Structure formats: C-alpha cells, structure tokens
Structure 1
Amino acid sequence: MEFYKRAIRYLARKRSKTAILFLVLFVAETMILCTVTILRASEEAKSSLQEKTKSKVIAEISDKDHLITTEDINAIFNFDGVKDINKMAKSQCCPVGFRLYTGNQDSTKENSQAQVVSYDSLSADGPFAEGQIRLIKGDFPEDKNEIVVNQNLAEMNQWELGDTVLLKNDAGEKINAVISGLYLSGTESKQTKSTLAVYRIENTIYGMPELALKLQRQKGFESASVYVKNPEQLTSIEQQISRKLGKKVELTKSDVLYRQMEQPLKQVVRVVKLMLILTIGTAAIVITLLLCMWMRARKKETAVYISLGENKGTIFLQILLEGLLVFFMATVISVLSGNYMAEALKKLLFTENQISSVPLEIGIRVADIGWLAVAGAGILLIAVGISLIPILLANPKDTLSEMEG
C-alpha cells in the first residue's frame, strides 16, 4: 500500500488523536497568524505615522541681512531623507489704488505700506496652520500671483474673490495679485491706534513665495520648514543643514507628536514579538512531545514496516504527511477565524496602551498566510523528525522483541 494511503487511513482510524493534534495546531496557528498580522500592520502604521506627524527641522534666520537663498534651499532639498520644504518669505509693498487700515496720522513710510507674508503651503505652517487666523471664504493660493487678504480690508475697498489688487515694490515695479480667499484673526479690534499700518493684521497679505520675492529688495527667505521622510533621520538632517547654513540660521526640531505616538506603538510591537516567539517555541515543544508520545505507541507498527522491507524514508514521509494533512485543515480554519482573533487582540493590546487612535488596519494577507505556512511546516518537520529519530535508528528485531516481552 502506498504511504499516502496509509497516512489517510491512519488519521481516519485514530480520530481522537487526529482531533487532539488538530486542536493544538489550530490554537498555535491562530496565535502565530494573529501576531504576524499585527506585527505587519504595526510596521505599516509606523510608516503612516511618520508621514502624518510631519516631523520637520525649522530653519529661521538669525540676522535679517543674511537671508536663506534659493541656492541654499536647492542644496537642502538634495539631502537624502528630505521630503519637502515649506519656504517663508516676507516683504513690504505700497498699495496702488486702494486704502490701508491705519489708526493714526504717522507720516513714516511704514504707515503707508502693507506686509506680504508668503508660504509654499499656508495650511502646513504659519498662522493659518497654528490656528491664529482662519480662512473664512475662498481658498489658499495655488498660483504664484494669488493672495489671501483680511476680510475687513476687503470690505473697506469693496473687494470680492477674483478681484485684482495692484502692489508696488520699492523699485516702483507694479505687480498684479488676484484675491483667492479672505481671512480673519478675531484680534483685529485689540490692536492699538499707534500700530503702524505695515504691522496691522488687516494690512497683512498672504501669498506664495514667488510674489514676495518679486517685491523684495534683497531676495531670500526668512525661514524654511524642512520635512523629512523618516523622523529617525531628523537629527542627521539637522546636522547637515547646520553644516550648510552655519550660524546664518537657528534650527529647531519638531517631532514631539511622532515621539508621543511612537513610544506606545513600539511597546506594543515588543509585546507582540515576545508573544510570537513564545507561541512558536511553545507550539514546537508541545507538538514534539505529543508526537513523541504517539510514536512510542507506533514502535511496533514501524518495526513491522521496516522488517517487511519498507524504506525508512517512506515511513518518515507517511508520518510527515499525516501531520501536514492535519496542519492544512488547521490552517484553513485559523485563516477563516484569524481576522476576528487579530481584531480582538488588537483591541486588547492597543486599549491597554492607550493608542487606539493609531490607524492600524487589520486584515490577513497572502504574505501573512505564507509566513504561517513556513513557520507551521517548519515546526511540524522538526517535531516529526525528533519523534521518529529514536524509532528509525533502532533495530527492528530489538523493537519487536521488546514488544513481545
């Protein structure tokens, strides 16, 4: 009879033993699958966390006479690990054909000028991002000539979205800017009358860096927020920026949110890794002991097969096939129930560590099943080998004599 037929008949005949092995394998495989799934999802969550926390190095000039140049920005952007740079530039300009807010009759130049503050992304850095002022109508600038103006200034000059505002730099060059949005800060009325026009909130115009550079006498940026791909590289990139710009800038790292969320996530990963190691180790020991006990009861059967000329390798394949058949059934059931078990384990671990807000997406994938198949088959192969070695190495005559005695 072929070894695979004997394997199937043995499992059918020894139903209680088959059920016990199935139960042990099912529990072990479910735990392995759950921990592997959570580990993989945790790594994905960490990558997502790195992007969402937007860790950055903020470079601010220490002297207004030494601005960050476009060449500096290009050099920093080429650093390995830099994801994006949000530049900030300021400039003063003279209004052409419109009035400014002013609470006094001061005749200085600054009392007849507006201030232009520009960012590559107003929603990522600056007063809008920090909640100091809010966009109440329209959109942030997307074109280099679009601007956001204060609602009070717009009402005073009867401006609407899409209207063109004419600005003039110190050289007398006139620049057209189109209104894309209106903002308010809520603190406009708290300003004193002595505040010069250029420093008043109502007269602050927000736009893109290209607009500010056109209005500047000395071209350059006052600050740059350098966003990194991986927060772990923040210190390295800070050092590179320091070497490039020297004392021209003061550097500040901003990764508090990432560190706060990273620590409990790391703790969960350590716990799950420990669970995985203990599960694999315990499963290997229990399955090996179980098979060793069963092989002792099959010593006579094995000795008879060998005496009849059966190859030892064929006997090994029979026992291994028996285990693999049970393993396959346990794998199918563990995969079907794995999502529920993994979700329950996730809630337990993440609730206890107070990081339930981490975007951990639980779902069994082909890679997880592949990992389970390799780990489970490896455990089974080792267990079958250990349990069969004493029997296969023993002399069949001695084994039969012991059984008869």
Structure 2
Amino acid sequence: MKPTHGFKLVAATAAIMAAVSAAPAHAADTEVVKFGFAAPLTGPQSHYGEDMKNGLTLAIEEANKQNIELDGKVAKFELVSRDDQADPRTAVQVAQQIVDENVQGILGHFNSGTTIPASSVYNDAGLPQIAMATSPEYTQQGYDTTFRMMTSDTQQGAADGEFIVKDLGAKKVAIIDDRTAYGQGLADQVAGAVKANGGEIISREYTNDKANDFTAILTNIKDKQPDAIFFGGLDAQSGPMRRQMATLGIKAPLVSGEMTRSDTFLKLAGDAANGTYASLAGVPLKQMAAGEKFEADYKSRFNVNPGVYAPYAYDGAWNMITAMKEAGSSKPDAYLPKLAALKRSGATSNSIEYDKNGDLKEISVTIYQVKDGKWEMVKTMVSKAAE
C-alpha cells in the first residue's frame, strides 16, 4: 500500500490557499492616514483645544467605519496631536514635529497667534491646513494650503461693529484688546465697522492674555462715558473684566467675540455676566444644518455637551476627508485641488465651500446675550461673501 502523506500535504496546502484567497482583505490592504493637530491642551485655554479635538475625533471615528479607499487601500485615519500651549514659539516647534510624523494634512491650530507662524512650516512641506484661526492675516499670506473652519474676524468684526452702533444705539465706543493676533485683529475690525456705521472710538486700551486686573484701564474708560465697551480677547480675561466693570459702576454693556461666549465666562463673571453680549461665527447649534444630530452624537461619545468649536472642527475634518475621497488619494498634491473646489453639506451648514483665499464663502454670525446667567441668542446674520 502506497503512503498517502504527500497527497494529504498537497490537499492541505490547497485548502489553506483557497481559504486565504477567499478571506476578506484587511490588514494587508489598510494604510494609516495621519492628520496633524495642534492646539492648547494644557493651561487656561485647554477647554478650547479639547472641544476642538473632540470634534475632530468624532469625524475621524465616523470615517473609519466607512472603509474609505484611498490610493488602492482602505484608509485608517489617525490624529497626531501636540500641545502648542497657545504659544507662537511652541507652535512652530510642534509644527515641525508634526511634519516629521509624515502626516497627510493639518487640522489646526486653534489660535490665530499660533496658526499664522505654524502655517509657513506646513506650507513649506506642501501640507493643506484647515485651522480654527479667525484672524484675516492667516489666509492672506498667499499660500494655497490655508483654509478655515470658521468665519474670519474681518466678517465677524463687521457684524459686531454694525450691531453695536445700530442695534445697541452706541455712538461712543471704547475698545480693549489683549494684543494677541486674535484679540487685536478682531478689535481692529470692530473699530473700523463702528466708524463705518457712524460711531466714534473714544478710547483704545490694551492688556495681555495673562492679565486679570483691569481696574486702571476701566477707570480711564469710565471717565469718558462710553455707550459700549468692546473687548477682543479670551474668557479668562473678559470674565474678571466684566466683574470689575460692575464693581466700578460702569453701566455700558460689554461686547466681545466668540471666546467670551462660553461657560467659563459665566463662571468667572458670576452675577455680573448678565447683559454681556458676545458674537459667534456661525449659527446656534440647533439651527445648524445637522446640529441636533451632531449634538446627540457628541454627547453619546464624550458624555458632555459640545462647546462652541466642536461642530466646526468636525466639519473641518470632514472637509479634508471628503477632498481625499474625491481625489481617491491621501497625497496632498492630489487632494489639495479638490479641497479648494469643495462643495458639501455638513453639520454646520448646507453650503460649505471656499473662496480663492481659503475663507468660507458663507458668512454667518450670531449675537448672544447673557440673561439670567445663560447665553441666549439675540440675532443671526447669514450672507454670502463678495466674489
């Protein structure tokens, strides 16, 4: 009787090969696509950075469930995170670290003061960047790699200045800013808009983003009897500022930008918060195109309510992912033209597209006021940017 070992071996080998060929392609056909992300993740601005990071994370986790094919392989998206501490010098350092990680795109930074210097590092590396930064200078550098997640300060400042003069009836306006790229940039735009609408800037004062005593500045402003005071800066300063205004008996309302429109401001200002106004690029969450769904998904994933920036970060991530899908590639030079020509409906808007500079074409700004310790919507303005 002839031995059967050889036959059995051949049969077993054939069976294994058949099983391998019939098995679905997974690890061998998967490629990691890295997105760089930097924002303040420690310190007094960390709540902004964490909110932004959560929005990005939600988008990336959703994308990974879709088995999106790029460059012939299923993409697994990952976030390479760095803490820039809201410091321009640190931002440049972490930008280079992110580039060295071989990322395919940048979702960040958060602050204008960090985004602008870091953007040159990313541009030199040929990496598209979608940032939260709102200072107009960010997209006016001549780079074809810079894009926004939110309305710019040029657009927001114009709305703020008009609201102060026309809606609040303020003719004499005092302005304070914290000398950051964000705070000064927004304050400059508001000053121009106040003048354009017939108002007068009676005082222009300066502080910094570490200060917490504004008594001298506010005393000087009080003597000039302003009808309104605008502050360009963070909630860590606007909260104490509003409380000190109440202590000094200043009756003029405080108006500020989106960084003041936060729960942190309400906690820091206490009872004095009532009557404060703050603008926010975009529309209220429940009025967004898919805001209620986003809110539910966010709360389910993170067990907290989304902050101001999360839905814009979420859309920013999906803008980059969508451009990659349309290009069929994660290579920056392949998907960059698709990003520039993007037209999509997202969580924040049904009409997301960019102009030639990388600014959003849809301008949306909402004014809020603190009433009974809570932020309530006062007015929303939505329009298209001039071509």
TM-score, with normalisation over the residues of structure 1? 0.21
Q: Which has the higher contact order (CA 8 A, sep 6+)?
A: 1
Higher share of residues assigned helix: 1
- Specify the structure having the higher radius of gyration (Cα): 1
